[in-house]
C-alpha cells in the first residue's frame, strides 16, 4: 500500500505541476457542473424523441439513479471510511507542493472522486444507450477530461479518479441493465433528425459546442 500511495503521489505531482494561465481558466470552467446543462438537455431530447413513454421514463429515472448511487456510495460511504485527505487540503503536508487554482481546495476527503464517479456513471450509461460509436467515444472522452480537471486543480489524486471512475462505470452499466429490464431496448429506435445525423448526435454536438465556448471564453477573460 505504501508503494501505491507513493506512486499515486508522484503521478499527482507530475501532472498537477503542468500548469498554464490558459489551462487554469479552462479547467476551472470545464469542471463546473452547471456549464454542461445544455448537453444533459440534449441527452433528454434524444431520449424523448426516440423512446416510448415507458422507455423514456425508465431511461431518465435509471440515469438519475446511476448518478445518485455513484455519488452517495463514493461520497457518503467510502470517503468517511477511508478518510484520505485531498492533496490540496491544508492539513495534508502535500498541499505545500500542490498547485492550487484560484484558492480552490474542495472538501476534506477525496477518495474516491465523486466527480469521476458521476461523470463515468453518466458516460457509460449514455454510451450503452445511444448505440453510436462516435457519441460513445465523445462522452467517454468528456468523462476522462472532466475527471482529469480535478487532478489539474489539485483536489484529487489519480487513484481517487481511477476508483471513482470504476465505481461510476459499474453503477452506470447496472442501471442501464435495469432500464432494459423495466422497458426493453426494442421500445426505441434512433430516428434520423436530418440527413446524416442521428438524434443522439445532439449530445455530442452540444458537448463540443460547450467545450468550444469554454475554450474561447478562457482566451478572452
Whether the pLDDT of residue 195 is over 70: the answer is no
pLDDT band at 197 (very low <50, low <70, confident <90, very high): low
- Indicate the SS3 state at residue 188: strand
State the pLDDT at residue 20: 95
- Indicate the SS3 state at residue 192: strand
Is the separation of the CB atoms in 105 and 90 below 8 Å?
yes
Strand 197-198 versus strand 192-194 pairing type = antiparallel
pLDDT band at 185 (very low <50, low <70, confident <90, very high): low
61-92: pLDDT as tens digits = 999 999 999 999 999 999 999 999 999 999 99
Is the separation of the CB atoms in 116 and 32 below 8 Å?
no
> What is the rounded CA–CA span in Å between residue 46 and residue 37?
14
Q: Which distant-in-sequence residues (6+ apart) come within 8 Å of 29 by Cβ?
A: 35, 214, 217, 218
- As a whole number, mean pLDDT of residues 165-172 equals 98
State the pLDDT at residue 194: 41
How does the average pLDDT of the chain come out, rounded?
Answer: 92
Q: What percent of the chain has pLDDT over 70?
A: 94
Q: Kindly report which listed range (22-36, 102-116, 192-206) carries the lowest average pLDDT score.
A: 192-206
Q: What percent of the chain has pLDDT over 90?
A: 83
> What is the rounded CA–CA span in Å between residue 112 and residue 86?
10
State the pLDDT at residue 191: 54
Q: Which distant-in-sequence residues (6+ apart) come within 8 Å of 135 by Cβ?
A: 126, 127, 200, 201, 203, 204
Amino acid at each position: 500500500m505504501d508503494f501505491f500511495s507513493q506512486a499515486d503521489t508522484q503521478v499527482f505531482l507530475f501532472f498537477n505541476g503542468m500548469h498554464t494561465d490558459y489551462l487554469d481558466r479552462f479547467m476551472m470552467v470545464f469542471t463546473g457542473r452547471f456549464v454542461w446543462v445544455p448537453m444533459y438537455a440534449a441527452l433528454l431530447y434524444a431520449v424523448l424523441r426516440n423512446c416510448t413513454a415507458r422507455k423514456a421514463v425508465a431511461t431518465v429515472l435509471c440515469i438519475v439513479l446511476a448518478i445518485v448511487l455513484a455519488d452517495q456510495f463514493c461520497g457518503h460511504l467510502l470517503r468517511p471510511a477511508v478518510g484520505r485527505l485531498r492533496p490540496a487540503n491544508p492539513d495534508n503536508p502535500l498541499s505545500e507542493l500542490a498547485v492550487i487554482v484560484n484558492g480552490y481546495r474542495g472538501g476534506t476527503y477525496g477518495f474516491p472522486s465523486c466527480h469521476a464517479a458521476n461523470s463515468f456513471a453518466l458516460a457509460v450509461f449514455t454510451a450503452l444507450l445511444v448505440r453510436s460509436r462516435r457519441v460513445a467515444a465523445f462522452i467517454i472522452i468528456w468523462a476522462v477530461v472532466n475527471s482529469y480537471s480535478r487532478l489539474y486543480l489539485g483536489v484529487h489524486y489519480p487513484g481517487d479518479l481511477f476508483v471513482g471512475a470504476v465505481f461510476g462505470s459499474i453503477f452506470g452499466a447496472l442501471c442501464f441493465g435495469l432500464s432494459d429490464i423495466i422497458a426493453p431496448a426494442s421500445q426505441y429506435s434512433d430516428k434520423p433528425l436530418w440527413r446524416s445525423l442521428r438524434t443522439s448526435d445532439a449530445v455530442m454536438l452540444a458537448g463540443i459546442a460547450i467545450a468550444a465556448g469554454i475554450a474561447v471564453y478562457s482566451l478572452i477573460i
